[in-house]
Amino acid sequence: MHGELTTLGIKIAPSTIWEILKQEGVDPSPARASTTWADFLCSQADALPACDFIETVILNGQRQYILAVSEHATRRVRVLGTTAQPTATRVIQAIRNLVMDLEDAGCRARYLIRDRDGKFPALMEEILADSGIHTVLTGICIPRMDSVMERWVQSCRRELLDCCLLWNERHLRHALREYEEFYNQHRPHQALDQVAPLRASPDPTTDPATVADLNVHRRLLTTSAASIHQLGAAAALVGGREGLRASEAGHAGGRGLWSRYDVAANTMLAGGWLIEQHTLRTQRHLDQATDDAVRLKDLAVIGSALTNIATVAAGQLVKHEFPQGLPLDAEGNLASGASRRGKRYYRWFTVMKRLNRAFAAGAIGLTPSVNFKVLRSYRPGAIFRLFT
C-alpha cells in the first residue's frame, strides 16, 4: 500500500499506514490467509472432541490404560474403558462405541484430536472417516495442542488416581464411572462460568432464608456422629434380651417389666435421630432415593419411641394389677387364676416390648445404608476418600 501511494505521488510514512491498518483491525498480509491453531480450536469447538490414553498402576502391580474422550465446547468427558492390554481390537471397539454415543447424543463431531501414540491403530481413522470425522494429529512433544484433554488428565490424576487405592481392574472401572458422573454433573468449571457440563446454572438466590440454609454445608460429621449414636443405642436395646426374659419371669416382684436402661436407650435413639433430622433437613442436598431411605429410617425410629412409651405404660398397668408379682406357672405363662384384665395388660406389654425391639433392629439395618446415600447425595466426589 505504501508503494502504491508513492507511485501516485503521495508521500506518507510506513508507520502511519501501519497505525491506520491496526486501528481498522486489518492484519498484515501474510497473516490474513493463515489459520493459527488457536483459531482452529475456537472455530471448531462445537464439533471437536479429543481423546487420549492415561496410564496408571493399581495395587496388584498391573499397569492399566484408560481411554477417555473430552469435548472442547461442553467439557464433557466420556471414559471409554480401561484395560491392561490395549490391543487394536479393543481400541477399535471403543471407538465404535464412541461414534454410536455421539450419534445418540446428537453431537456433530467433525474432527478428533489425538496424539501420535502407537496404541491407536490405523483402522481407527477409517472408522472415523466413515462417520464424517477427520483425525487431527498433534505435534510431537507438544501437549499444549491438546490442552483441554491434558487438563482433564491432570484433574483425573490429582483427584482420583493419586489419592485412591485401586485394588483391581473392576475397582478401577467403578471409580472411573463415579468420577465421570461427578465431573460431568457436579464439578464446576471456570471455562463454563462455574457450572458443570451436564448441569445448567441455577437462578440467582435472593431469598435471605434460602441463603441462610445454604450456609450449612459441613455437617456430615454431625450426621455421622448422630447415626453412630443411634446405632449404638439401638444395638444396646436389641441386645438387651435379658431384660425381656426377666420381665416375662416376673423376678423381683414385677420390677423387671421395664427398666431405666430401656428408657435411656430409646431416649438416646430418639435424641440422635432429632440431631440427624436437623442436619439433613437444613442441608437440602438429598436426592429422591436418599430422601426415601431417610423417611424409612424415620418410621423405624419413631416406631421404636412410640412402642417404648406404650411398653412403659403397659408395664405400669401390669404392676398395678399384680402388686405382689406375676402369678406364673412352671412354663412361664400367667396362671389360670389371673384376672382377665391382668392377662390383657400383660399380653399388651409383651407385644409392645417385642415391637420395640423390632423397630430398633430396623434402625440398625437402615443406618449404614442411609449414611452411605447421604454422603453420595451431599458430594459425589467425597465418596472416593473412603478408599484412601
* Mean pLDDT score, 336-363: 81
Model confidence, pTM: 0.50
Are 78 and 172 in a shared domain? Answer: yes
* Of the candidate ranges 8-17, 36-45, 262-271, 320-329, the one whose mean pLDDT is the lowest: 262-271
* Of the candidate ranges 206-215, 285-294, 339-348, the one whose mean pLDDT is the lowest: 206-215
Are 13 and 94 in a shared domain? Answer: no
Using a pLDDT cut of 70, give the percent of the chain over it. 71
> What pLDDT is recorded for position 178?
92
Please write the tens of the pLDDT for every residue from 224-278.
445 554 555 555 555 444 444 444 444 333 444 555 656 666 666 666 666 566 5
- In this structure, the number of other CB atoms found within 10 A of the CB of residue 27 comes to 11
Are 223 and 367 in a shared domain? Answer: yes
Domain count, the chain: 3
Are 105 and 157 in a shared domain? Answer: yes
207 within some domain = no
Report how far residue 103's alpha carbon sits from residue 107's, in angstroms, rounded to the nearest whole number.
Answer: 6
Q: Per-residue DSSP letters for 287-300?
A: -HHHHHHHHHHHHH
26 within some domain = yes
Three cell numbers, residue 352: 409392645
Are 178 and 305 in a shared domain? Answer: no
Are 15 and 126 in a shared domain? Answer: no
Instruction: Please list, in sequence order, all residues whose beta carbon lies within 8 angstroms of the beta carbon of residue 91, skipping any fewer than 6 positions away.
Output: 67, 119, 120, 121, 124
Are 163 and 256 in a shared domain? Answer: no
> What pLDDT is recorded for position 193?
77
Is the pLDDT assigned to residue 176 strictly greater than 90?
Answer: yes
206 within some domain = no
C-beta separation of 266 from 307 below 8 A:
no
Are 223 and 137 in a shared domain? Answer: no
Are 268 and 346 in a shared domain? Answer: yes
How do strand 134-137 and strand 111-114 relate by DSSP bridges? Answer: parallel
Are 293 and 177 in a shared domain? Answer: no
pLDDT, greater one: 155 or 235: 155
Are 174 and 288 in a shared domain? Answer: no
Are 300 and 232 in a shared domain? Answer: yes
Mean pLDDT, the chain, whole residue set: 76
Instruction: Please list, in sequence order, all residues whose beta carbon lies within 8 angstroms of the beta carbon of residue 39, skipping any fewer than 6 positions away.
Output: none
> What pLDDT is recorded for position 268?
66
323 within some domain = yes
208 within some domain = no
> Residue 5 — very low, low, confident or very high, per pLDDT cuts 50/70/90?
confident
Three cell numbers, residue 304: 421404636
> What pLDDT is recorded for position 245?
43
Print the domain residue range for 163.
Answer: 43-192
pLDDT, greater one: 34 or 44: 44
